[in-house]
């Protein structure tokens, strides 16, 4: 029988133990995101829609943070299966937009993107799975977590949503690596994409192949491609490149202002930053965003409890992965895949999930006493 802890004490504990750096960085990113969305909307119009989503994120964060760590631990698989069901559901019940079924309509005009929520569930499930077992030493030890990861990934791929599905991969390998999977095992897994790639190429849709083709030839696009298949990439690069050192200033970027940059409130939000704030601003933004990931990763070091440690590191990986993939796409480092930049982009689900993830990390972290001398607990 556990002793009942008074509420004020719980709040005090939470505040004392929690990952303050995460909160501060997240607040800064949300503020930056609002500024960018404001600029996208046109300076004369306040982005009230975005503020609602920011509020949703904050609410999600508070909600998630108020759930105690042990509940997260206990219901990880439950959440995961809920998400799986939603993913199945979306395939049959979902609303088709742009030839993809990604959303489930809720009451009151809200809509839900189950694939976003699956990201949190996956982090929890993997953290619990790796945390409850000795460190994986054989390839077969990775089979079940692999199944946990790639099962939903395949469902998401069927929506189709290549970007989200791809973002699961680094999460899995990252957590598996942290969990202590020896390199001799992991290297086979890392080789796996080489074998999967040809099959993947074969299953890709025409438009996806075209994107890869455009990406490979991004410096020799014809005039026609620039206005058609390569339009996104070309205008993204135009916006980024023309920002130069100092940028055009807030709300002044021509590509943004003239509505020439497509999807600029969503996946291509980074070019707006780069165009209007230049190299210095964009680098600063990247560092700010990355430091959220680093803060989570380093923060996880403070915990001895494996579940806590993996969950927080997973959240860090989540943000890091999205940053690298999303920004890489806009810079032409990777081929174009639709992946939002959490907390900055427009999507409501993504915003809410970011809030939940952060809140979850805080809650999980608050559940255990941090240990400041990390080296003392090396096993």
Q: For another protein, which residue of 272, 282, 363, 364 counts as binding (CB under 8 A)?
A: 282
**Cα dihedral 287, 292, 296, 302 sign:** positive
Residues 32-71 binding another protein (CB under 8 A) are 41-42, 45, 49
Strand partners, 97: 100
Q: For another protein, which residue of 60, 145, 278, 342 counts as binding (CB under 8 A)?
A: 278
Stretch that binds another protein, among 1-9, 24-32, 141-149, 238-246 (CB under 8 A): 238-246
Q: How far apart are the C-alpha atoms of 281 and 145, rounded to whole Å?
A: 39
Report whether 116 contacts 159 (CB < 8 A): no
The two tokens of residue 120 are: 């949190």
Report whether 236 contacts 261 (CB < 8 A): yes
Min dist CB 328 to another protein, Å, is: 6
Report whether 226 contacts 234 (CB < 8 A): yes
Q: How many residues bind another protein (CB under 8 A)?
A: 68
- Cβ neighbours of residue 23 under 8 Å, at least 6 residues apart? 358, 362
169 lines the binding site for another protein (CB under 8 A): no
73 or 309, CB closer to another protein?
Answer: 309
Angle at 54 between CA 233 and CA 270, to 5 degrees: 20
Residues 175-194 binding another protein (CB under 8 A) are 177-180
Q: For another protein, which residue of 43, 241, 249, 252 counts as binding (CB under 8 A)?
A: 241
**Cα dihedral 353, 356, 358, 361 sign:** negative
Residue numbers at the binding site for another protein (CB under 8 A): 41-42, 45, 49, 97-98, 105, 109, 111, 174, 177-180, 206, 219-223, 226-228, 237-245, 254-255, 257-260, 265, 274, 278-279, 282-283, 286-287, 290, 293-294, 297-298, 300-301, 309, 313, 317, 320, 323-324, 327-328, 331-333, 374-375, 378-379
């Amino acid at each position: 029988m556990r002793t009942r802890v008074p509420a004020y004490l719980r709040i005090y504990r939470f505040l004392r133990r929690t990952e303050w750096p995460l909160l501060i960085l997240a607040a800064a990113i949300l503020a930056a995101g609002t500024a960018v969305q404001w600029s996208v909307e046109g300076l004369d119009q306040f982005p009230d829609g975005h503020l609602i989503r920011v509020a949703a994120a904050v609410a999600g964060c508070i909600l998630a943070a108020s759930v105690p760590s042990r509940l997260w631990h206990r219901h990880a698989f439950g959440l995961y299966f809920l998400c799986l069901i939603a993913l199945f559901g979306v395939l049959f019940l979902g609303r088709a937009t742009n030839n993809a079924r990604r959303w489930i309509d809720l009451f009151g005009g809200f809509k839900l993107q189950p694939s976003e929520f699956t990201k949190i569930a996956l982090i929890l499930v993997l953290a619990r799975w790796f945390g409850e077992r000795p460190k994986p030493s054989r390839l077969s030890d990775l089979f079940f977590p692999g199944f946990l990861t790639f099962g939903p990934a395949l469902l998401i791929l069927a929506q189709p949503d290549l970007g989200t599905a791809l973002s699961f991969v680094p999460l899995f390998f990252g957590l598996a690596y942290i969990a202590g999977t020896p390199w001799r095992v992991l290297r086979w897994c890392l080789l796996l994409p080489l074998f999967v790639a040809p099959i993947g190429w074969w299953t890709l849709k025409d438009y996806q192949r075209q994107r890869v083709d455009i990406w490979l030839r991004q410096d020799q696009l014809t005039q026609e491609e620039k206005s058609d298949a390569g339009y996104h990439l070309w205008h993204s690069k135009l916006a980024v490149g023309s920002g130069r050192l100092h940028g055009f200033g807030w709300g002044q970027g021509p590509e943004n202002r003239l509505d020439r940059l497509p999807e600029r409130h969503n996946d291509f939000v980074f070019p707006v930053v780069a165009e209007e704030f230049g190299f210095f601003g964009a680098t600063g933004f990247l560092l700010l965003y990355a430091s959220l990931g680093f803060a989570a990763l380093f923060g996880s070091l403070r915990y001895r409890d494996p579940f806590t440690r993996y969950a927080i590191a997973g959240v860090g990986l989540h943000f890091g992965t999205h940053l690298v993939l999303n920004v890489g796409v806009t810079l032409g480092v990777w081929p174009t895949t639709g992946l939002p930049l959490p907390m900055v982009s427009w999507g409501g689900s993504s915003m809410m999930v970011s809030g939940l993830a952060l809140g979850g990390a805080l809650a999980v972290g608050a559940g255990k006493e941090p240990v400041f001398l990390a080296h003392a607990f090396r096993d």
